[in-house]
Amino acid sequence: MKSNSIKVIAPATVSNVGPGFDIMGFAINTPVEEMTVRISDKPGIRILKISGDKSGLPFDIKKNTAAVAVTKMLASLKLKIGVEIEIRKMIISGSGLGSSAASAVAAPVALNELLDRPFTKQELMEFALEGEKVASGSIHADNVAPCLFGGFILIRGYKPMDIIPLSYPKKLFCTVLHPQFAIKTSDARKLIRKNYPLKEVVAQAGNAGGLIAGLLKSDYDLIRRSMNDLIAEPARAKLIPGFYKIKEAALNAGAVGCSISGSGPAVFAFCTSENDAEKIGRVMKKISSEFVKKNMIYISNINSTGPRVIG
Ligand code: HSE
């Protein structure tokens, strides 16, 4: 162990990506989660500080995603050391941008570095997923996997976990609109039906396959045609005031697809250049402002690195 303290950042993520409910996600450069993890002489895991979030995130180590992930990691190593965690939330919880996943990823990544990497990234997934589960009430990897690995990720299957990094057009930009209110993933998941007619399942599979093919071939028109979601978007659109108007305005302004980021309220749009992303962001913000007072815009290309040590 070179040092007993480390600071890492972990990226925000857009999950579901239109037709990829629970199976697709990508990382973006901004916002990020910042976390400091320290090994201490006093045994036990402690959350010392959470700043930047007013939602009352838990300090209880059985409920905090970062602490749960670290607890699982230490149990797996059969290590009884002290770990102190300070979290600076810049990805607002309940935004739909993978806030809980970023905490669940940043903590085990940081501790893994401090312990001289006993685990591979693939192995860290298990701990991060346990952390994510306490926040969202279910095991879904479409935020955790892109946050941990960076890039654009397909979760081909869950049992066993089969993580497929996808290539994507290097000029693909993403505009994210974040209307400033919170949606709990566990609540938004209750809106998803348990069964779907065969016709819809076939259409969803066609669109998911089309999106992947479009990404691999850098075929923007195919991406645009494939960005149709029959599962999450129709069920959750009502949670986001003005959603269909925002989407229509983004598409009219040249977006290559637009949908809800994760369980919302953030809405993302694919764009083919940074200029377009900025222009489309202004349009989306203008419409959303008619319904919600405060709106943030993030412009980013796809983050290919995942978490980074910054101190
Ligand atoms: N796939 C998940 C959902 C992502 O839509 O419920 C939310 O974090």
Per-residue confidence in pLDDT tens, the chain, 311 aa:
668 999 999 999 999 999 999 999 999 999 999 999 999 989 999 999 999 988 889 999 999 999 999 999 999 999 989 999 999 999 999 999 999 999 999 999 999 999 999 999 999 999 999 999 998 888 899 999 999 999 999 999 999 999 999 999 999 999 999 999 999 998 999 999 999 999 999 999 999 999 999 999 999 999 999 999 999 999 999 999 999 999 999 999 999 999 999 999 999 999 999 999 999 999 999 999 999 999 999 999 999 999 999 99
The span from the CA of 228 to the CA of 223, in Å, is 10
Contacts of 22 (CB under 8 A, 6+ apart): 15, 16, 140, 142, 155
Sorted by where each begins, the domain ranges of the chain are 5-166+304-309, 173-301
Which of the residues are catalytic? 132, 185
Ligand 1 mean position, distance from CA 15 (Å): 6
58, burial (CB in 10 Å: exposed 0-12, middle 13-18, buried 19+): middle
Enumerate the β-bridge partners of residue 173: 271, 301
User: Per DSSP, which regions of 52-196 are E strands?
Assistant: 82-88, 152-158, 161-166, 173-179
Around ligand 1, the residues with Cβ closer than 6 Å are 15-16, 21-22, 136, 140, 142-143, 185, 188-189, 232, 262-263
Mutate to test the pocket of ligand 1, among 26, 97, 142 (most ligand atoms within 8 A of CB): 142
Q: What is the DSSP letter of 302?
A: B
Ligand 1 mean position, distance from CA 115 (Å): 31
- Neighbour count for residue 32 (Cβ, 10 Å): 23
Adjacency order of strands within the sheet including 295-301: 258-260, 267-271, 173-179, 295-301
Contact 40, 84 (CB under 8 A): yes
Total-model pTM? 0.96
Atom of ligand 1 minimally distant from the CA of 192: 6
Radius of gyration of the chain (CA): 19
**CATH (one of 3.40.50.300, 1.10.3210.10, 3.30.230.10, 2.30.40.10) for 5-166+304-309:** 3.30.230.10
Cis peptide before 265 (omega within 30 of 0): yes
Task: Please give the pLDDT value at position 2.
Answer: 64
Q: Looking at this protein, which amino acid is placed at residue 100?
A: S
Ligand 1 mean position, distance from CA 2 (Å): 37
The span from the CA of 263 to the CA of 241, in Å, is 14
Fold for domain 173-301?
Alpha-Beta Plaits (3.30.70)
